[in-house]
């Protein structure tokens, strides 16, 4: 089904060539039409989100009741009022952003460091029990995350980590998938390189730092990006243990809510803005846009990383 | 730097038990020579090279660089340069960085380090002796010996401290009088400028000066290899080691690079050891060849010597392209026979052959009971067939038969031998054409050859044929092109071997 | 080549100049500088380096992954289990013994499979099972087929291919909760909501979609639509990369043999794409079994609201587990644990079944 240039195909007659060309135009038109249709289906919720965020609540409600929805902005319904709502009160997107960015950056750093070291140990170093340990870890990849949640909740509370950054960063900080993925990349670095570095006077860790990491940088960047994205979109665990105020900061007299973007959004939803749809939609917008921008910048890395992991299966 | 190997042994534990890769090897590489380790795959040559480099630890034996025992010194401190078969260049570094990478690690010991070590050693020895003395006194033993040693040590300490002080004074003087030299002496590592200078020098030496800023993947195979050589030489090693340097290159590049290696070695005068399985390669550039098989050295000598005077059949067969022809022969009554016909008379054949021959026999595992004996027994006592013992039954029903080898001492006079003649060692006999079958005809210095295939290829004529009347494996002869007229169209031609070798059954050379 | 690096080529013509080299050598200071790295007296053995590198990751893995798994297993076999607040530990066994000391409400803790019985007999759980099953059976194949179709179409065009690919990938990078809420608004039940307006163009009267008055199947429609919308991105990407990896020679050979497009698709494209199809099928099924976030975000009433007046119309297996996750009511923890183990069993079964089916159909 790959693209072929017309001149690569030979035809018995002029007429056949014309038929072929006509057929091709029809198929291509249909294809584009289909793809465009689906594209619109995909894009529409985003459009809706943006439009609604710029409408005033009263206008929106009026439109809803009347049974006529307006898909564009005009002088009657345009308003900035939603943006103000999202940033005030106890549910404040500024706080959500702050918390989420802190968690995302620190936990990604933590993930990258532990994954690099562990993948290095499995890929390059010989020690007893290496294979057994790796097989066990590989097995745990199959297990659904929900199995660990109850215990982790109790453990976290016992550590006194409820509603702290520590709980959000360390509990899910280490991922076997990243270790596995990075180990594969490390294994593709030829053994002779290690020996050459040895002859040049570099031990294991010096070799890791100076050679393996630079060579495996694309994979590390992919892990970095995927980890950041995962931290941004996390919901279940943050809801469980980070829905309240930070105890450490409270001891210092600061009232700091620990909500992240996702569970913050949800609580906004269920409390102040239950009946104010445009406000909620604006919240969704704010939850989505940063990652959007991030994606547009790093699109190549993200898509390459995911398709690569698909090949390995 | 002379490299000396003494009784080097290396065994690996594989899936099927212990494998001896290198078996009690000893040889000496003289200073400044280019030595080739030659042998088939798996003969242990790469293992030997890696042991010299320090990447593998020998199970037994010692390695000396000059008069320094380096066996337990890690590879980076031995002063070696190693070029890998696939170059192993760092892909994320430029050529220049690849060459300076080993230099980043270079650390110079301080000028007074030796003195300080001496003092520290003396002090610790003194402490130990004092402890021993105290212990001895408690047990009321005689401590006169220890006290004497203590006095000696204290003297040594005083001397060391004196020398240290004197050295310090001299250094301070140097600092004032010749600050440049002082800097030179006390620097800890190489500066960037120095490293770059070395890199440039190396690049010039191997002729890749223009490529210093490129990355390895932008270079061709030959260029990459030169970078690898430059990197190996950057630390001015005492010994240069190369692992199959030419096998990754195409044919024409091989010839070129051979000469390059030779030139570099001559320019720098560095002792070089390289490993190869290509005998032509080894012959063309080595000063000395070490032929190996199964972890054992077969022969060490200059290339031509190894070619002309092989010490056993393996060496004779391994060197030379096309390979040497081997015929079955016999020694009877002091005369050499080829295919039953008299071939040569030489007093050497009178020598009695004493040696051991490896034979095999089939036994049941864990006993000495041989199956042959069993069957022989049954034949002699057929009534026992229904009355066999448990042991015998066991042998029948559990064929855990094992073929073991054992050595049998042999003293022989008449025996089978192998005769080897190199293809190019044939010339046309005076009686060029074979005239009729003559049953009394001997092969005395001429061999009639049935010409199965004659081809004139450029400089030579290549003949493949069989010895008349015999079902031998075919032999190959190469004669100069001018003799084409003499062999063209002929069916049987007489050839005379100018030079031949005779080998015992076990391979050693007799003549 | 000499081994000396320093350049003492300072030829001093002054006869009074001291020959420093000789003098220094005499005093035991070596003037020659060999280019060698530092001699290390102590080298860490290799196995130590391995464990040192591994320890950071291992600590957290054991603490927050391996231990909880074992813990949950054990917990599922303790009847009437509850977390004893002052036991100071999350380990089931410790809590067990603590609970033995002070039985609560007269009910004793004991070993047994009562948790499993309670869970399996619970009508809510049964509903969760059916719901999850419906979601899996309907939405996953639908998404895969549409995804495959789209990937193939995408693969057949050249200009704007990247543009369309990016558009189709957008749902993957968006927050499930956020977009769920948008869908919630789009499918609101007032006459002026998007869907109702859309349907009114076909003469269908406004419907209740996600409110407590809504029909269960209307809710299901929304769930399926959202799942498909969300799920296409990843599948299309993996299929695309798989398609790109198919050697053109196969297609050329087929063309020479005169095959038509449909046959090419069935006999060449699909078999060569089978590893990716298998991967996608397994991961999609497993993911769908764990459906939770997208559903609560659609109903938008909070982490434990699944629609309807009893808030449990579309509860799923994971939803059931979440219900009991921080509760300390009677047998709550045990039920949650049993639910987890059952979920694990379902996932394993599905995966094994798929592997068995795939044995003859997947070509590597």
Which residue in the set B86, B92, B101 is minimally distant from A200, CB to CB? B101
Please report, in angstroms and rounded to a whole number, the separation of the first and last CA atoms in chain A: 24
Q: What is the pLDDT of residue C3?
A: 40
- Nearest-CA residue of chain B relative to C33? B108
**Co-location of B408 and B447 in the same domain:** no
How high is the pLDDT of residue B247? 84
Kindly write down the DSSP assignment for every residue of A226-262, as one continuous string.
HHHHHHHH--HHHHHH-SSB-HHHHHTT---B---HH
Partner residue facing C3 (CB), from B115, B171, B236? B236
Q: Which residue has the tokens 């659904």?
A: A144
Residues B443 and B386 in one domain: no
Residues B292, B249, single domain; the answer is: yes
Q: Which tokens is B146 given?
A: 């220890």
Helix, strand, or coil here: B209? helix
Residue A202, number of CB atoms within 10 A of its CB: 22
Percent of chain A with pLDDT over 70: 84
Per the CB < 8 A criterion, the answer to whether B40 and B57 are in contact is no
Per-residue pLDDT tens over the stretch A137-189: 888 887 888 888 888 888 888 888 888 888 888 988 888 889 988 998 899 89
Distance from CA of C318 to the nearest CA of A (A): 7
Question: Strand order of the sheet with strand B68-69?
Answer: B17-29, B3-14, B60-65, B68-69
Note whether residue B324 is domain-resident.
no
A193 band by pLDDT with thresholds 50, 70 and 90: very high
Residues with Cβ within 8 Å of B157's Cβ and at least 6 positions away in sequence, in order, are B119, B122, B123, B126
CA atoms of A99 and A86, how far apart (whole Å): 16
Residues B243 and B181 in one domain: no
C120 and A181 Cβ atoms separated by less than 8 Å: no
Distance CA C267, CA C265 (A): 6
Q: How far is CA C361 from CA C191, C251, C278, C349, C355, in A?
A: 49, 20, 9, 19, 10
pLDDT score of A273 more than 70? no
* B117 and B132 inside one domain: yes
Task: Return the pLDDT at B361.
Answer: 67
What phi and psi values does residue B365 have, to the nearest 5 degrees? -50, 140
CATH number for the domain that contains residue B483: 2.40.50.100
CA distance B100 to B137: 59
Residues of chain B under the 70 pLDDT cut: 333-335, 339-357, 361-404, 410-413, 429-446, 468-473, 489, 505-511
Question: For residue C299, what pLDDT is reported?
Answer: 80
CA dihedral sign, ordered B80, B86, B90, B93: positive
pLDDT above 60: residue A6: no
Instruction: With respect to residue B170, please indicate whether it lies within any of the assigned structural domains.
Output: yes
What domains, with CATH codes, occur in chain C?
46-116 (no CATH), 122-358 (1.10.3720.10)
Decide if B45 contacts B21 (C-beta within 8 A): no
- Residues B420 and B458 grouped into a single domain: yes
The pLDDT, as a whole number, for residue C2 is: 40
Pair B183, C6: CB distance under 8 Å: no
Closest residue of chain C to B174, computed from CA coordinates: C20
Kindly tell me the burial class for residue B321, based on how many C-beta atoms sit within 10 Å of its own C-beta (0-12, 13-18, 19 or more).
exposed
Contact C273, C182 (CB under 8 A): no
Residue at B172 is within a domain: yes
Residues of A in contact with C293 (CB under 8 A): 235-236
Q: CB neighbours of A149 closer than 8 A, spacing ≥ 6? A: A236, A237, A240, C68, C321, C325
Residue B129 counted as domain residue: yes
- Residue B455 domain flag: yes
Is B207 a domain residue?
no
Long-range contacts of B51-55 (CB under 8 A, 24+ apart): B51/B8, B51/B10, B51/B22, B52/B3, B52/B5, B52/B80, B52/B239, B52/B241, B52/B273, B53/A199, B53/B78, B53/B80, B53/B82, B53/B241, B54/A199, B54/B78, B54/B80, B55/A195, B55/A198, B55/A199, B55/B82
pLDDT tens-place string over residues A13-39: 777 788 888 888 888 888 888 989 999
- What pLDDT is attached to residue B510? 66
Q: Residues C200, A67: contact at Cβ < 8 Å? A: yes
Calculate ∠ Cα A270-A275-A281, nearest 5°. 75
For the beta carbon of residue A249, count every other beta carbon within 10 angstroms.
16
Q: Where are the alpha helices (DSSP H) in B210-328?
A: 221-233, 251-268, 279-285, 303-308, 313-318
In chain C, which ranges are continuous DSSP H helix? Answer: 20-26, 46-61, 67-76, 92-101, 114-121, 123-155, 161-173, 176-186, 194-200, 216-244, 248-256, 261-264, 270-289, 293-299, 317-323, 332-358
Do residues B67 and B129 share a domain? no
Buried b (16+ CB within 10 A) or exposed e, B59-84: eebebbbeeeebbeebbbbbbbbbbb
Enter the tokens of residue B182.
């002082």
Task: Pick the residue of C7, C10, C14, C28 with the most B CBs within 10 A to test the interface with B by mutation.
Answer: C28
- Counting beta carbons within 10 angstroms of the beta carbon of residue C66, is it exposed (0 to 12), middle (13 to 18) or buried (19 or more)? middle
A 281-300 → C contacts, CB under 8 A: 281, 283-285, 287-288, 291-292, 294-295, 299
Neighbours of A157 (CB within 10 A): 17
Please give the Cα distance from A93 to A264 (Å, whole number).
8
CB of A102 closer than 8 Å to CB of A165: yes
| Strand-pair partners of B495 | B428, B447
Q: Could you tell me if B408 and B327 are in contact, meaning their C-beta atoms sit under 8 angstroms apart?
A: no
| Inter-chain CB proximity B108 and C37 less than 8 Å | no
Per-residue pLDDT, C112: 79
Contact: A196, B88; criterion CB under 8 Å: yes
Find chain B residues with C-beta within 8 A of C8's C-beta. Answer: 181, 184
B105 domain residue, yes or no: no
Residue B182 within a domain:
yes
Residues B386 and B449 in one domain: no
Cα torsion for B335, B340, B341, B345, to the nearest 10°? -10
B52: domain CATH number is 3.40.50.300
CA–CA distance, C213 with C153 (Å, rounded to integer): 41
Q: What is the pLDDT of residues A212-241, one digit of tens each?
A: 999 999 889 888 888 888 888 888 888 888
Q: What is the mean pLDDT of chain B?
A: 79
Cβ–Cβ gap C237/A130 under 8 Å: no
| Chain B contacts in chain C segment 3-22 (CB below 8 A) | 3, 5-6, 8, 10, 18, 20
Q: Residue B486 is part of which domain span?
A: 416-504
Residue-level pLDDT at A113? 94
What residues of chain C, 40 to 79, have a C-beta less than 8 Å from chain B? 40, 43
Instruction: Assess whether B404 and B421 both reside in one domain.
Output: no
Q: Estimate to the nearest angstrom the gap between the alpha carbon of A39 and the chain centroid.
A: 21
| B284, B360: one domain | no
pLDDT in the model for residue A208: 93
State how many domains chain B has: 4
Q: In what order do the strands lie in the sheet with B426-433?
A: B426-433, B492-497, B447-457, B460-467, B475-480
Choose one of B412, B433, B457: the last residue of a domain.
Answer: B412
Q: In degrees, to the nearest 5, what angle opens at C-alpha B319 toward C-alphas B313 and B320? A: 115
Confidence (pLDDT) at B388: 61
CB contacts of B103 in chain C (<8 Å) are: 35
**DSSP secondary structure string for all residues of B56-71:** S--SEEEEEETTEE-T
Going through B16-129 in order, the beta strands assigned E by DSSP cover 17-29, 34-38, 60-65, 68-69, 80-83
Percent of chain B beyond pLDDT 90?
Answer: 11
The predicted structure's pLDDT at residue B342: 64
Q: B358 in helix, strand or coil?
A: strand
Could you give the CA distance from residue B10 to residue B296 in angstroms, rounded to a whole number? Answer: 11
Do residues A276 and A85 make contact, with C-beta atoms less than 8 angstroms apart? yes
User: Which residue of C16, C29, C33 to mutate against B (max B Cβ within 10 Å)?
Assistant: C29
Task: Tell me the shortest Cα–Cα distance from C53 to chain B, in angstroms.
Answer: 23
* Inter-CA distances, B270 with B68, B81, B201, B481, C202, Å: 17, 10, 16, 42, 91
Q: Quote the CA–CA distance of C129 and C122 in Å, as a whole number.
A: 11
Calpha distance C324→C310 (Å, rounded): 16
For A138, the token pair is 């590989």
Residue of C nearest to A156 (CA): C90
Q: Judge residue A242's burial from the number of C-beta atoms within 10 Å of its C-beta, 0-12 exposed, 13-18 middle, 19 or more buried.
A: buried
What does the angle CA C337 – CA C339 – CA C343 come to, to the nearest 5 degrees?
A: 120
Position C229 scores a pLDDT of 92
**Residue A112 pLDDT greater than 90, yes or no:** yes
C neighbour chains, 3+ CB pairs within 8 Å: A, B
Q: Do both B247 and B265 map to the same domain? A: yes
> In chain C, which stretches have pLDDT less than 50?
1-13, 15-16
């Amino acid at each position: 089904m790959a693209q072929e240039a017309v001149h690569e195909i030979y035809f018995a007659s002029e007429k056949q060539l014309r038929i072929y060309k006509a057929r091709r135009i029809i198929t291509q038109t249909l294809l584009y039409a289909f793809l465009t249709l689906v594209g619109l289906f995909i894009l529409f919720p985003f459009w809706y989100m943006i439009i609604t965020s710029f409408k005033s609540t009263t206008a929106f409600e009026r439109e809803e009741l009347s049974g006529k929805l307006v898909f564009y902005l005009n002088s009657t319904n345009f308003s900035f009022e939603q943006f103000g709502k999202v940033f005030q009160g106890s549910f404040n997107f500024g706080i959500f952003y702050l918390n989420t960015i802190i968690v995302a950056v620190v936990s990604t750093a933590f993930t990258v460091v532990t994954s690099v070291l562990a993948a290095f140990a499995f890929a390059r170093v010989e020690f007893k029990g290496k294979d057994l340990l790796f097989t066990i870890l590989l097995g745990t990849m199959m297990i659904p995350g929900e199995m660990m949640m109850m215990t982790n909740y109790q453990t976290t509370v016992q550590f006194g980590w409820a509603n702290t950054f520590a709980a959000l960063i360390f509990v899910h900080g280490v991922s076997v998938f990243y270790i596995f993925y990075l180990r594969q990349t490390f294994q593709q670095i030829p053994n002779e390189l290690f020996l050459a570095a040895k002859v040049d006077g570099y031990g294991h860790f010096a070799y890791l730092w100076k050679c393996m990491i630079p060579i495996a940088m694309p994979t590390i960047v992919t892990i970095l990006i995927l980890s950041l994205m995962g931290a941004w979109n996390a919901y279940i665990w943050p809801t469980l243990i980070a829905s309240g105020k930070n105890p450490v900061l409270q001891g210092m007299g600061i009232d700091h809510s620990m909500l992240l973007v996702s569970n913050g959004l949800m609580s906004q939803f269920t409390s102040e803005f239950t009946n104010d749809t445009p406000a909620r939609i604006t919240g969704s917008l704010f939850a989505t846009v940063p990652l959007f921008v991030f994606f547009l910048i790093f699109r190549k890395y993200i898509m390459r990383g995911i398709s690569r992991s698909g090949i390995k299966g | 730097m002379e490299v000396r190997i003494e009784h080097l042994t290396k065994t690996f534990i594989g899936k099927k038990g212990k494998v001896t890769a290198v078996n009690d090897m000893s040889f000496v590489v003289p200073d400044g020579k280019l030595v080739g380790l030659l042998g088939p795959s798996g003969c242990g040559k790469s293992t030997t090279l890696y042991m010299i480099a320090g990447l593998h630890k020998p199970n037994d034996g010692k390695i000396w660089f000059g008069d320094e025992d380096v066996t337990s010194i890690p590879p980076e401190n031995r002063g070696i340069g190693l070029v890998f078969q696939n170059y192993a260049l760092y892909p994320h570094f430029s050529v220049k960085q690849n060459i300076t990478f080993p230099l980043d690690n270079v650390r110079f010991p301080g000028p007074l380090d030796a003195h300080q070590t001496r003092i520290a050693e003396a002090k610790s020895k003194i402490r130990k002796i004092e402890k021993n003395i105290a212990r001895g006194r408690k047990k009321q033993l005689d401590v006169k010996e220890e006290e004497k040693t203590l006095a000696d040590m204290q003297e040594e300490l005083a001397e060391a401290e004196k020398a240290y002080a004197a050295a310090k004074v001299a250094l301070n003087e140097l600092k004032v009088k010749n600050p440049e030299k002082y800097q030179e002496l006390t620097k800890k590592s190489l500066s960037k400028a120095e490293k770059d200078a070395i890199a440039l020098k190396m690049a010039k030496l191997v002729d890749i000066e223009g490529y210093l800023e490129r990355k390895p993947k932008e270079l061709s195979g030959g260029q990459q290899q030169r970078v690898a050589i430059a990197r190996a030489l950057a630390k001015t090693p005492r010994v240069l080691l190369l692992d199959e340097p030419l096998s990754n290159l195409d044919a024409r590049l091989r010839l070129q690079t051979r000469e390059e290696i030779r030139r570099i070695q001559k320019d720098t005068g560095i002792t070089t050891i390289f490993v190869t399985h290509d005998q032509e390669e080894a012959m063309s550039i080595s000063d000395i060849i070490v032929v190996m098989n199964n972890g054992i050295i077969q022969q060490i000598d200059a290339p031509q010597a190894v070619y002309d005077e092989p010490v056993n059949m393996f060496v004779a067969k391994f060197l030379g392209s096309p390979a040497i022809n081997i015929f079955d022969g016999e020694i009877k009554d002091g005369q050499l026979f080829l295919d039953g016909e008299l071939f040569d008379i030489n007093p050497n054949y009178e020598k009695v052959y004493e040696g051991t021959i490896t034979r095999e026999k089939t036994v049941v595992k864990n006993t000495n009971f041989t199956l042959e004996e069993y069957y022989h027994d049954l034949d002699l006592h057929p009534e026992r067939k229904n009355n066999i013992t448990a042991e015998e039954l066991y042998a029948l029903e559990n064929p855990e038969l094992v073929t073991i080898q054992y050595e049998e001492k042999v003293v022989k006079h008449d025996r089978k031998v192998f005769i080897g003649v190199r293809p190019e060692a044939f010339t046309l006999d005076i009686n060029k054409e074979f005239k009729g079958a003559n049953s009394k005809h001997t092969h005395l210095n001429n061999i009639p050859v049935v010409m199965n295939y004659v081809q004139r290829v450029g400089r030579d004529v290549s003949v493949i044929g069989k010895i008349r009347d015999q079902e031998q494996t075919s032999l190959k002869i190469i004669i100069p092109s001018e003799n084409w007229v003499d062999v063209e169209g002929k069916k049987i031609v007489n050839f005379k071997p100018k030079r031949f070798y005779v080998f015992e059954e076990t391979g050693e050379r007799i003549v | 080549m000499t081994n000396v690096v320093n350049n003492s080529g300072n030829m001093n013509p002054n006869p009074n100049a001291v020959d420093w080299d000789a003098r220094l050598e005499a005093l035991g200071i070596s003037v020659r500088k060999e280019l060698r790295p530092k001699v290390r007296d102590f080298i860490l053995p290799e196995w130590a380096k391995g464990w040192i590198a591994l320890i950071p990751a291992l600590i957290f893995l054991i603490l927050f992954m391996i231990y909880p798994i074992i813990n949950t297993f054990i917990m599922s076999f303790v009847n009437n289990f509850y977390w004893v607040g002052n036991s100071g530990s999350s380990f089931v066994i410790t809590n067990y013994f603590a609970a033995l000391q002070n039985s609560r409400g007269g009910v004793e803790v004991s070993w047994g499979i009562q948790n499993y019985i309670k869970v399996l007999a619970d009508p809510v759980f049964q509903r969760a099972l059916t719901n999850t099953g419906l979601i899996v059976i309907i939405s996953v194949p639908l998404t895969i087929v549409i995804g495959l179709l789209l990937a193939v179409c995408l693969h057949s065009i050249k200009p704007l291919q990247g543009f369309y690919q990016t558009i189709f990938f957008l749902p993957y990078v968006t927050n499930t909760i956020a977009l769920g809420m948008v869908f919630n608004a789009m499918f609101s039940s007032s006459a002026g909501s998007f869907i109702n307006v859309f349907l009114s163009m076909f003469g269908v009267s406004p419907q209740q979609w996600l409110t407590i008055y809504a029909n269960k199947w209307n809710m299901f429609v929304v769930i399926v639509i959202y799942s498909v919308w969300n799920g296409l991105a990843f599948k299309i990407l993996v299929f695309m990369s798989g398609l790109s990896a198919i050697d053109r020679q196969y297609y050329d050979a087929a063309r020479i043999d005169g095959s038509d497009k449909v046959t090419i698709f069935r006999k060449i494209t699909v078999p060569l794409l089978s590893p990716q199809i298998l991967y996608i099928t397994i991961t999609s099924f497993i993911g769908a079994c764990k459906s939770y976030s997208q559903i609560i975000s659609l109903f938008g009433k909070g982490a434990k609201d699944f629609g309807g007046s009893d808030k449990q119309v579309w509860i799923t297996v994971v939803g059931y587990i979440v219900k009991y996750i921080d509760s300390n009511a009677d047998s709550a923890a045990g039920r949650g644990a049993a639910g987890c183990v059952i979920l694990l069993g379902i996932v394993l079964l599905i995966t094994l079944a798929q592997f068995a089916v795939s044995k003859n159909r997947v070509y590597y």
